[in-house]
Amino acid sequence: MILSIESSCDDSAIAITEIATKKLLFHKKISQELEHSVYGGVVPELAARLHAEALPKILEECRAYFSDLKAVAVTTTPGLSVTLVEGVIMAKAVSIALNIPIIGVNHLIGHIYSLFIEKEAVFPLTVLLVSGGHTQVMEVKSLEEIKTVAKSMDDSFGESFDKVAKMMHLGYPGGPVIEKLAKEGDRKKYNFTVPLHQSPLIAFSYSGLKNSVRLAVEDANENDYKDIAASFEHIAVSHIIQKLKKYFKDVTPKTFAIVGGASANLYLRSAIEELLKPYDAALLLSELKYCSDNAAMIGRVAVEMYEKGIFSSIDELEICPKSVI
C-alpha cells in the first residue's frame, strides 16, 4: 500500500491506496474553507498552521495500515510553499520511521489522475484543468508525456470566481456560491467582453473580466448581484469555449477531460458537452468528490510512479511552488 499526503493549499488530506489493485482503502480530508472564508481567500500562514494540526490527526487514523506500507507519497509542486512543506516534513518523517521510499507527486498530474481513481488510466487525452491556481489545456499521452498547449496569462478560472464572490462579500470559495447565484440571474443583463476574443492567441486571461465585474459591482445594489454573477459566469465559460474551438481547428479532440476544483461547475460542463458534439469526442469527468483537492488522486499517481520505480531520496525531495508542466 501507499500512504499519500496532500497539503498544497487549504485541504489537509491523506489516502491509502493498494498498489496491485489501485483500490482506495482510506481517504480523509479536513478542509479549511470555513477558517479562510472570513478573509475571502486563503491566508497562507493560517493554512500552514491548520495543516500542522490536521495532518497528524488523520495520520493517527492510518496506524493500522503502517505495517503494509511500501512507500509514502506527497505533493511537492505546485502550491503554497508554507503549506507544501507541512506535507513534505510529514512524508520524510514517515519515510524514515518506516524505512520506506518516498515519492514526490505533481499536484496537476494528480488532478489528471483524479479521473482514474480505482480505474486503469486511458490515454491519449486532451485535458482542461480548471482550479484555483490553474487554467490550462494539456495533451496527455502518458504519465511522463504531458504537454501544456494553453494556459492563463494571469488569474485562473476558479480564482476569478473567488474574487467576484469576495467583491460581493459572499465568502470563500467563490465557485459554488457564484454558480448558485448565477442560476437565478439573467446571463445577458451585463455585457462583459469575452477576454482575448480578438486575439489569435490560444491562451486565457481573467484579470480584465474581473476588473469589469468590479466596476459593475461598485455601481450595483445587492439585487443586481445575481445578474452580475450570471453574466460573469457566462463570459468566463464562453472564453474557454471560444479558445477551445480555435484549438480544435488544428487538433481534433478524441477523448476530452475536465479536471480540477472548478470542473464541478455544471454550466461549464454542459457548454463543453455541447462543444464536443460535432467531434463525437468522449468526455471524461472526475467524480464530484474528487474534483477538488484530495489525497486519493495523489495516491493514484503514486501507484503509477511506484510501478515505474520513480522515487526520490529524502535529500532530493524539495518543494517547488510553481509547476514545470
Of 227 and 293, which has the nearer Cβ to Zn ion?
A: 293
CA–CA gap between residue 203 and residue 247 (Å, rounded): 10
Which of these, 8, 5, 89, 90, lies nearest to 42 by C-alpha position?
8
Residue 161 contacts ligand KG4 per CB under 6 A: yes
CA–CA gap between residue 221 and residue 253 (Å, rounded): 43
Beta strand 11-17 with 24-31 is antiparallel
Residue 175 contacts ligand KG4 per CB under 6 A: yes
CA–CA gap between residue 81 and residue 49 (Å, rounded): 13
Residue 158 contacts ligand KG4 per CB under 6 A: yes
| 242 in Cβ contact with 194 (< 8 Å) | yes
How does 232-254 read in b/e, with b if 16+ C-beta sit within 10 Å?
Answer: bbbbbbbbbebbbeeebeeeebe
- Of 262, 272, 295, 298, the one binding ligand KG4 by CB under 6 A: 262
Backbone region of residue 280 per phi and psi (left: phi > 0; alpha: psi in -120 to 50; beta: other values): left
Residue 159 contacts ligand KG4 per CB under 6 A: yes
Residue 158 binding result from Zn ion, ligand KG4, none, given CB thresholds of 5 to 8 Å by partner type: ligand KG4
CA–CA gap between residue 215 and residue 144 (Å, rounded): 44
Distance of closest approach, residue 183 Cβ to Zn ion, in angstroms: 25
- Span from 12-20, 48-56, 174-182, 272-280 in contact with ligand KG4 (CB under 6 A): 174-182
Distance of closest approach, residue 109 Cβ to ligand KG4, in angstroms: 12
What is the H or E stretch that residue 16 is in?
strand 11-17
Of 161 and 192, which has the nearer Cβ to Zn ion?
A: 161
Residue 78 binding result from Zn ion, ligand KG4, none, given CB thresholds of 5 to 8 Å by partner type: none
Residues 263-302 that bind Zn ion (CB under 5 A): 293
Distance of closest approach, residue 20 Cβ to ligand KG4, in angstroms: 28
Binding site for Zn ion (CB under 5 A): 131, 293
Residues contributing to the site for ligand KG4 (CB under 6 A): 9, 131-133, 158-159, 161-162, 173-176, 179, 260-262, 264-265, 292-293
